Amino acid sequence: MGLTGFVVHWQQQYAAARKQLQRFAGAPAGSGVVARSLSREQARDLVVHYWVNQVIRMERWPECDANGNITWPKPADKVKLKLNIAGVQFTPNNPQAAGWTETRELDLRNVVLVVRFTQYLKDNWGASVIFWGGLGIGGGRNDSADTHTEGLAMDFHGAITSAGHFDVRRDWGNQRVPAAIGGDKAGRWPGSLNKTSYRLAVDPLDLGNFVLGTVGARGFFEDVYQFLTTQARHDSPEAKPRIGEGSGILHPDTPWAWLRPGHQNHFHFEVAKV
């Protein structure tokens, strides 16, 4: 088979796959379920739905048997995503991953979480680029499996949006912690402290800074956190989500002293525990 014949054959296979999967064009049952509560079957149907609607591309397209039943991906399978998701370019924060064209293997529930997060930033902040890490790789604190290597988590380092370029390290982690909320002389959280709050927060009575902050870094990171509490594993005992609480969403003001230094340049969020 020559090159032209191969291309034609490939196009025919692709068209046949799309035709078989058109029943997934409409939103499946799991569309109204928060990501952290999805069953694996609901997540698989959503992933196929995203593929049919060209929200994502994977290392291969979904496959069916003669009766139209999906044979790949199965609910427990993992997939690699190409680095344009929902029309937003995913740029790895780690220079070692600069040449990557796809993520590592992801749990299908995490694919749904990543897509929803991306769509939220695109729709609400005009995001065109997301700087990421940890999609199927990372962690590395010990030899045990963790949420990154199991494809259950993502690290978010920042984004280019219609409101500007927000960088977690520059615009949050490198900012001083005010002494009034517990910062030391260097403007950092004391190393042993296990109680923190949002260092970028401003007094609501300071009307000028309060209003301006809603469209700047303070408002952006607060909005990201609040969205993540609606979809990612949270597990906070507090009734109203706030930055500084103990939760499964990690960031520069994470209260746990042993985790805080490693999260000065990114949010960590996950769809489930290992």
Query: Could you list the pLDDT tens digit for every one of the 274 residues in the chain?
Result: 566 765 555 566 667 777 788 889 999 999 999 999 999 999 999 999 999 999 999 999 999 888 888 999 999 999 999 999 999 999 999 887 888 999 999 999 999 999 999 999 999 999 999 999 999 987 554 567 899 999 999 999 999 999 999 999 999 999 999 999 999 999 999 999 999 999 999 755 454 554 555 569 999 999 999 999 999 999 888 878 899 999 999 999 999 999 999 999 999 999 999 9
**Cβ contacts of 142-146, under 8 Å, gap ≥ 24:** 145/274, 146/274
pTM of the entire structure? Answer: 0.91
Cα–Cα distance measured from residue 274 to residue 272, given in angstroms and rounded to the nearest whole number = 7
Cα–Cα distance measured from residue 76 to residue 72, given in angstroms and rounded to the nearest whole number = 10
Contact 79, 59 (CB under 8 A): yes
Residue 203: predicted pLDDT: 56
CA-based torsion, 252, 192, 199, 232: positive or negative: positive
Residue 15: predicted pLDDT: 72
Residue 5: predicted pLDDT: 62
Contact 155, 165 (CB under 8 A): no
Residue 208: predicted pLDDT: 52
Residue 209: predicted pLDDT: 53
